[in-house]
Amino acid sequence: MKRKLSIFGYFLSIYVLAQFFWWGYHIVDLTTQLSGDTAASNKNILMIVGEGVIFLSILVFGIIKIRNSVANELIVSRNQNNFLLSVTHELKTPIASIKLYMQTLQKRNLSEEKRNEIIEKVLQQNEQLALLIDNILNATRLENKKLIANKEQLEVSKFLDAIVERYKRQYPQIEFVNQVKKNISEKIDPFIFETIVNNLIENAIKYGASGGKITVELQKDTALKLRVLDNGPGIPAQFHKDIFKKFYRVGNEETRTQRGSGLGLFIVKELAHLHKGKIKYYNNQPTGAVFELTL
């Protein structure tokens, strides 16, 4: 569809420009034939050429704007389609898992240890479901300007330690490295900070190396600085400018294997701006991704 529209747009643009030059040539030619006065003829030709240049500039500008608008609409449509495909999968997966775990508890006589293990997995799936729903709601609130930063004095080190410990329990197969400096306090919005941290860690879990390592760093000098690092494949340079866009995910939703909705990094960027901070991405060495939040 996109290819057909592009071909049609190029064809139409070339046809319009060709017609413009064709009629311009005939008008100048006719003016020369009808005007016996050479000075008057030259003056008329200059006037026609001048008006033609202005009209041509407006015409080319309009063609470019229409082409860009159509291209942007196609990108938005594709990303929204990817979002619907991914969010459907994201909602169905934890619901199906919770159902299976509960049926296992209901139908089988399990040991206390096994029951506790299954209950822990149910809680994990429930948290994944809650995070997805929160991201959808937060994205809507951010676009409607319904979120404001409510800052309070907080011992950020302990707050972040608790988040990292929670993820350690949820994902024992991943090595979490806690490099949070102790006794750091700052006036921040706890909800915004926790939402950013959750989305950055979830992103590292999704796209980092399988069974790999995730490092969480916190330090404070002139500003509060949080870094989340993984040792996955990283993000190719050509996609860096797009990763914080709403619904954007590298690749095609129909062939992608990683879960996700395309909202996490968009929310991180918007919440960072709401908190008067900034988020940036750069490649880890030798492989992986680094997301750095400065508040």
Residue ranges making up the domain that contains 163: 152-294
State whether 165 and 67 are in the same domain: no
Query: Coil, strand or helix: which one is 280?
Result: strand
Question: Which residue, 75, 103, 127, sits at the end of a domain?
Answer: 75
**Number of Cα atoms under 13 Å in the Cβ half of residue 95:** 8
Chain-centre distance of CA 113, in angstroms? 41
Question: Which residue, 38, 60, 75, sits at the end of a domain?
Answer: 75
Residue 259 lies in a domain: yes
Beta pairing partners, 176: 214
Residue 98 lies in a domain: no
User: Which stretches of the chain score pLDDT less than 50?
Assistant: 252-256
Question: Which residue, 75, 99, 122, sits at the end of a domain?
Answer: 75
Residue 101 lies in a domain: no
State whether 190 and 286 are in the same domain: yes
CA distance 184 to 181: 7
What pLDDT is attached to residue 112? Answer: 84
Question: Which letter, b or e, does each residue of 184-198 get, where b requires 16 or more Cβ atoms within 10 Å of its Cβ?
Answer: bebebbeebbebbbb
Residue 87 lies in a domain: no
State whether 161 and 259 are in the same domain: yes
State whether 157 and 288 are in the same domain: yes
Q: Measure the CA angle with vertex 212, ends 210 and 217; round to 5°.
A: 135
Kindly report the CATH number assigned to the domain that includes residue 259.
3.30.565.10
Is the preceding omega at residue 286 within 30 degrees of 0, hence cis? yes
What pLDDT is attached to residue 180? Answer: 94
* Per-residue pLDDT tens over the stretch 55-73: 777 777 777 877 777 777 7
Whether 89 contacts 97, CB under 8 Å: no
Please state the domain count of the chain: 2
Tokens 């690749």 -> residue: 251
State whether 62 and 193 are in the same domain: no
* Per-residue pLDDT tens over the stretch 103-141: 888 887 888 888 888 888 888 788 778 877 777 777 777
Residue 117 lies in a domain: no
Residue 124 lies in a domain: no
177: which 2 tokens? 């490295």
State whether 160 and 61 are in the same domain: no
Residue 130 lies in a domain: no
